[in-house]
Amino acid sequence: MNSLRDSSGQGARPVLSWSGHAKATLSLGIPLIGAQLAQIAINVTDTIMIGWLGATELAAGVLATQAFFLLFIFGSGFSLAVMPLAAQANGSGDVRGVRRSVRMGLWLALAYAATVMPILWMTESILLAAGQDPDIAALAGDYIRVAQWAMLPAILIMVFRSYLSALERAQVVLWATLAGTLANILLNYMFIFGNFGAPRMGIVGAAVASLGTTSVTCVALLIYSVSKEQLRRYELLVRFWRPDWQALSELLRLGWPIGATILAEVGLFAGAAIMIGWIGTIELAAHGIALQLAGIAFMLPLGLSSAATVRVGNAFGRGDWLGLSRAGTVSIVLVVLVTLATAILFWAVPEPLVGLFLDENNPDARNVMLNAIPLLAVAATFQLVDGLQVIGAGLLRGLKDTKIPMLFAVFSYWAVGMTLAYIFAFPMGFGATGVWWGLATGLAFASVLMIWRYLMRDSIGLVGKHTD
């Protein structure tokens, strides 16, 4: 195997081959993909079981979960900022640097949850002001008043996931999330429909299940992080009350653009839900199903994006520019292959996929099916660009580059995507399908800009000069 001198000029390190980079990326990425799929399975389970109650309940569930997710995803930006900081510190052997970033990430999680919970409490009023049906808004409000308490454990989970991923311990994240998914299915079955002696709570039962699931998963990851022998040296909770203003400042500097970047995309889909809600309840229910399927497919490139952040961050911390370049290229190739596979699946078998979310005995089921299939066809066309934009953002995040990607995201999703979604849907008369074509265009713009910036990393000064 070839070797290169490290950036300090002392010793030699092995040069990893292309196949070696692919294996390393998949070794980290597959558990992260599994964890992402298990996480979204909680939302999918909620959508499926709420959908069995009827189209009105499903439409309310779509709006409620989007409201929760909108605030959660911005807060998760601070948690995700832990990943590149911890990865770079780990790459350079800086134990204290890992501890500082994680501890202040936990601080920010506590502060953020306390800030946004009052906003969630007003979900019903916000939806009414946005022109939604009063009955749907009321059901969504009932759901969110329970689900809002899950915000704190949900954000804390993201901190622990970033920490463990940065140390390349993604397997425990996968197993904890899988256990949570199974628990959520059981709790949904109990509390939505009143099985096993539990009260029948309808849509609120799904919120109770989500709260229980996130709380248990959070506690499990906390116990592992502080009790595992190999992790004790990081001392995450020792003098937890002691502030580290420098680390906190760096997390804030990196985290808010990450949150804003993800929020711009999630907000695009939430805005789409609002617009489709103006069209009708059936169309909104169809949008919710297509969005769930697209979201499941998105977990594949999203998991690889997190792996890319860690791999690039570790290489950056070591000053390994050749390894950084190869890790990035391999990540992009893997995402292209994965997204093309999911696009083919959406095109080939849309009806069975949509049918998973519907009770054929429900009188609205056929109409929802007919409206959802065209949306899934549009989703198939934007799988590739959606994957490229998220892997581009992940690679740039590994270089601690977050502000310019945020501006790219805001421009692409809102100036381009949301504007065209409205034009296609209403002035041009394409309805819900037009909204989705607007989304696809915004994602395409973002993918070009993100990948271009990553490829230009040397000339714009994001990394050091090559010495290999």
* The 3-state secondary structure of 178-204, one letter per residue: HHHHHHHHHHHHHHHHCCCCCCCCCHH
* pLDDT tens string 445-454: 999 999 999 9
Lowest-confidence region among 13-17, 61-65, 207-211, 273-277? 13-17
Q: Is the pLDDT of residue 319 over 60?
A: yes
Give the single-character DSSP code of 468.
Answer: -
Residue 14: predicted pLDDT: 65
Q: Is the pLDDT of residue 463 over 60?
A: yes
Summary mean pLDDT of the chain:
86
Instruction: Count the neighbouring beta carbons within 10 Å of the beta carbon of residue 216.
Output: 17
Q: What is the mean pLDDT of residues 243-260?
A: 87
* pLDDT tens string 379-424: 998 889 999 999 999 999 999 899 999 999 999 999 999 999 999 9
Q: What is the mean pLDDT of residues 187-205?
A: 88
Strands 12-14 and 3-5: antiparallel
What is the rounded CA–CA span in Å between residue 265 and residue 416? 12
* pLDDT tens string 321-337: 888 999 999 999 999 99
| Residue 27: alpha-carbon gap to chain centroid | 20
Q: Is the pLDDT of residue 9 over 50?
A: no
Q: Is the pLDDT of residue 1 over 50?
A: no
Q: What is the mean pLDDT of residues 240-247?
A: 84
Q: Is the pLDDT of residue 3 over 70?
A: no
Q: What is the mean pLDDT of residues 256-261?
A: 88
What is the rounded CA–CA span in Å between residue 60 and residue 133? 9
Decide: helix, strand or coil at residue 12.
strand
- DSSP track, 77-142: HHHHTHHHHHHHHHHTT-HHHHHHHHHHHHHHHHHHHHHHHHHHHTHHHHHHHTT--HHHHHHHHH
The top-scoring range by mean pLDDT among 12-16, 213-217, 391-395 is 391-395
Position 11 confidence tier, pLDDT thresholds 50, 70, 90:
very low
Residue 406: predicted pLDDT: 93
Q: What is the mean pLDDT of residues 254-277?
A: 85
Residue 333: predicted pLDDT: 94
* 71: nearest Cα among 134, 114, 102, 38: 114
∠ CA 72-169-256 to the nearest 5 degrees?
30
Lowest-confidence region among 33-42, 111-120, 210-219? 33-42
What is the rounded CA–CA span in Å between residue 181 and residue 184? 5
Residue 299: predicted pLDDT: 87
Own/partner contacts of 349-353, CB < 8 Å, gap of 24 or more, are 350/376, 350/377, 353/293
Hey, which residues does 3 pair with through a beta bridge? Answer: 14
Q: What is the mean pLDDT of residues 134-139?
A: 87
Q: Is the pLDDT of residue 45 over 80?
A: no
* 263: nearest Cα among 77, 449, 395: 77
**What b/e sequence results for 97-119 when a residue is b if at least 16 CB atoms lie within 10 Å of its CB, and e otherwise?**
bbbbbbbbbbbbbeebbeebeee
Q: What is the mean pLDDT of residues 1-26?
A: 64
Tokens of 210: 């989500």
What is the rounded CA–CA span in Å between residue 391 and residue 193? 40
* pLDDT tens string 146-165: 989 999 999 999 899 889 98
Residue 466: predicted pLDDT: 40
Q: What is the mean pLDDT of residues 260-273?
A: 83
What is the rounded CA–CA span in Å between residue 407 and residue 236? 33
In 195-254, where do the E strands start and end?
none
CB of 389 within 8 A of CB of 396? no
